Structure 1
Amino acid sequence: MDSLTQIVLGAAVAEAVAGRKMGAKAALLGAIGGTIPDLDVFLRFFYDPLDAALVHRGFSHSLLFALLAGTLLTFVSDKLTKQHYTKRMWFLLWFLSIVTHPLLDIFTNYGTQFFWPFSWRLTFNSVFVIDPLYTIPFMFLLIGALFMKRESKRRRIWNWSGIIYSSVYLLWGVVIKLIVYSNTTSYFEQADIHPKRTMVTPMPLTSFYWDLIVEDDSNYYVGYKSLFAPFDPKGIEVIPKNHELLQNINWEGNSRIEEIEHITNGFYAVESHSDSLFIYDLRFGTTTTITNGKIKNPLFGYGFTTKGQKIETLFSHRTRDFSKIDFKVYWDKVFGE
């Protein structure tokens, strides 16, 4: 999730653990703990974009890291405060504020290597990385709690209400996804498309609108489902796979195909442009609905510069023409208007 959401979650968890004894300082420390796992983003300066994507949400988003970091920070905090608080309280504050970060990220489409060093990523793919309906009520309840006296029962009620609300919202996303997923095959069969594999992911900023991607041997097919309107088979987009473009490349060193398939969960499309190949990660969707069809490119991917038939350089590719975004039309689609 986005940094603000992780700060709110870490602060709320720390407040629940130690707010009564520490006051607002507990929430501040929890906010710090909630941001620690994402410090791995600075590693991108030492890797190419594909390797950086593989490293991100790896060790720093694991249960092992939370245990090690929680133990280290407990030792440091205990020494700095001259044993004013119990070690148990310090450990729970640091461990829970850190471990809830990757637990929350598991619900996004990128997932985490929570059981690092195992390479597989856990993901429910049921909440978008920025979802105001999750974050804003949660943040409001936390801030309200922090303005109350630390001994106040209402303070604990408000804070726990935020934690419970956030948990229920995540559960809601999983349930809705399963409902949409269970109907995906029948949606596409309306257009005489018979899927071999299916992925369902939330659209930007909401859990009311879903991106449905299915595949056959040659193409991906992208459809959209609002909870407030029937599925429209006429709105299905077709994206050619073109995977063979990678098979015919003379890679410098080891082939990157296995890494591409791993990071995209096998949902990627390839395009050739002049001396570059673009590999689009379809888990991040396309720009079609949010730009009202003005741009239909997949949102994110990776590029390989070629010279002749040899791969030379890797770079990240992201659609950045935000001037074409039409929020009014997008929200009309979200609510089926």
Structure 2
Amino acid sequence: MDNLTHGLLGLAIGALRRPDAPPGARASPTDRAVLVASVLAAELPDLDTLLASGDAVTVALQAHRGLSHSLLFTPVVALGATGVARALFRGARTGPVFLASLASVLFAHLLPDLWTGWGTRLLLPFSDARLSLDWTMVVDPWVTLPLVVSAVVAWRQRARWRRALLVGLACSAAYVGARVASWGVLTRRVEATYPEARTVRVFPLPFSVGTWRYVATLPDGVLAAGDVPLAGEPREARRVASSVDALPEDVRAVRPVREALAWARFPVVSLKTVDGGREVRIDDLRYHLRGEPTLGFVIRLDPANAVTQARMERGGSASELLRRWRGGAATPATHGGDAGTPVP
């Protein structure tokens, strides 16, 4: 999730602990330390972005959501947040502050990252697998808005701050619960439409509550992509060949290419000659608008397979994506056999 949502979730989780001071009274040092530590613990894992180095592909896929986002590292993050909060509020008790920090790392940062489509690597350093539940986008205003409103109410009506924060948390949790139920229903609906599919996956659509996107892997390796509304049948927009197997081994061995292929769950790959070298494009069809990929990585190689450029592309400008999201025509399935082009 985005950092605003992480922080607000941390604040709400800090409010789950019953304060030492009665309602309306000045908060105790422990009460204040718990709230501050919870917010800090919810934000600290993303400091890994400040330490990132290397090409854009490696930074996006390896440096961020690395060890600081793992379950093993959770107590370290909680201890850091506890230490800062206790330094700010002398006299605060360590136990409640640490427990609130630990809960905040788990439920305000790691869990929200897990339920997004991008996913996170919780099992580092034992496994590099990127786990994802695909319930919401990384930025979902319907998760964030109740938390923002509750924080504003808590600030303005400080005698009832805890109740306001908990109501906001309950509203956000109810929304995520509804997303989980929708995901399950729509997954079964798409599976019924493609009984021959090897895998079927349903993904959130940006800023949409009633419509999701899906990808189905058919027996011949072709990927079928489309949208599925809550009240209706799946609408296929495109079928496309992945063509990962056609990528030469020497190109696959290049680190940014290897990282992008490991990240993409439904990869659409193309390779072409550019300025005497080669350009590899790896899109992931789970990020699509009406069958057209909207997120991918482009890596340029010189004749010796050294990386000369590596970048992430988001499928066009913001205005183009908005136009397509609002209702651009679906791309019909056409004939073709090249990597990254529609196939029957």
- What does residue 277 of structure 1 align with? 280
1:262 paired with 2:284, answer no
Residue type at the aligned position of 2:269: V
Q: Is the 8 A contact 2:203 2:214 kept in 1?
A: yes
Report the Cα distance in structure 2 between the residues aligned to 1:252 and 1:2, rounded to whole angstroms: 32
Deviates more, 1:308-317 or 1:171-180: 308-317
More helix by share: 1
Q: Is the 8 A contact 2:34 2:85 kept in 1?
A: no
Residue type at the aligned position of 1:282: L
> What secondary structure sits across from 1:210 in the alignment?
strand
- Give the number of equivalent residue pairs: 313
Distance verdict in 2 for CA 1:254–1:131, change over 3 Å: closer
1:181 paired with 2:187, answer yes
Residue 255 of structure 1 and its aligned partner are, at CA, apart by 6.8
Q: Is the 8 A contact 1:128 1:207 kept in 2?
A: no
Q: Is the 8 A contact 1:15 1:24 kept in 2?
A: no
What is the TM-score of this pair, normalised by structure 1? 0.81
Q: Is the 8 A contact 1:212 1:222 kept in 2?
A: yes
- What does residue 143 of structure 1 align with? 152
Deviates more, 1:128-137 or 1:255-264: 255-264
- What does residue 132 of structure 1 align with? 141
RMSD: 3.0
- What does residue 14 of structure 1 align with? 14
- What does residue 320 of structure 2 align with? 324
> What secondary structure sits across from 2:271 in the alignment?
strand
What is the TM-score of this pair, normalised by structure 2? 0.79
Of residues 203, 212, 228 in structure 2, which corresponds to 1:225? 228
Residue 25 of structure 1 and its aligned partner are, at CA, apart by 7.2
Task: Give structure 1 stretches of 5+ with no counterpart.
Answer: 289-295
- What does residue 334 of structure 2 align with? none
Q: Is the 8 A contact 1:59 1:116 kept in 2?
A: yes
Residue 325 of structure 1 and its aligned partner are, at CA, apart by 3.6
> What secondary structure sits across from 1:250 in the alignment?
helix
Residue type at the aligned position of 1:171: G
Distance verdict in 2 for CA 1:80–1:4, change over 3 Å: closer
Residue type at the aligned position of 2:130: R
Report the Cα distance in structure 1 between the residues aligned to 2:305 and 2:124, rounded to whole angstroms: 34
Instruction: Find runs of 4+ consecutive structure 1 residues off by over 6 angstroms.
Output: none
Residue type at the aligned position of 1:14: G
Q: Is the 8 A contact 1:127 1:207 kept in 2?
A: no
- What does residue 158 of structure 1 align with? 164
Q: Is the 8 A contact 1:302 1:314 kept in 2?
A: no
Residue 5 of structure 1 and its aligned partner are, at CA, apart by 1.1
Residue identity over aligned pairs, in percent, reads 22
Of residues 279, 298, 303 in structure 2, which corresponds to 1:303? 298
Q: Is the 8 A contact 1:59 1:65 kept in 2?
A: yes
Q: Is the 8 A contact 1:15 1:30 kept in 2?
A: no
- What does residue 123 of structure 1 align with? 132
Residue 140 of structure 1 and its aligned partner are, at CA, apart by 0.6
Q: Is the 8 A contact 2:203 2:212 kept in 1?
A: yes
Post-superposition Cα deviations, 1:115-135, rounded to whole Å, max 9, x if no partner, equal 322322332111111111111
Residue 286 of structure 1 and its aligned partner are, at CA, apart by 1.9
Q: Is the 8 A contact 1:18 1:93 kept in 2?
A: no
Residue 327 of structure 1 and its aligned partner are, at CA, apart by 5.8
Distance verdict in 2 for CA 1:303–1:324, change over 3 Å: closer
Distance verdict in 2 for CA 1:121–1:280, change over 3 Å: same
Q: Is the 8 A contact 2:214 2:226 kept in 1?
A: yes
Residue type at the aligned position of 1:17: R
Post-superposition Cα deviations, 1:114-171, rounded to whole Å, max 9, x if no partner, equal 232232233211111111111112221222123223xx4x432221112222222222
Report the Cα distance in structure 1 between the residues aligned to 2:232 and 2:77, rounded to whole angstroms: 47
Report the Cα distance in structure 2 between the residues aligned to 1:221 and 1:38, rounded to whole angstroms: 34
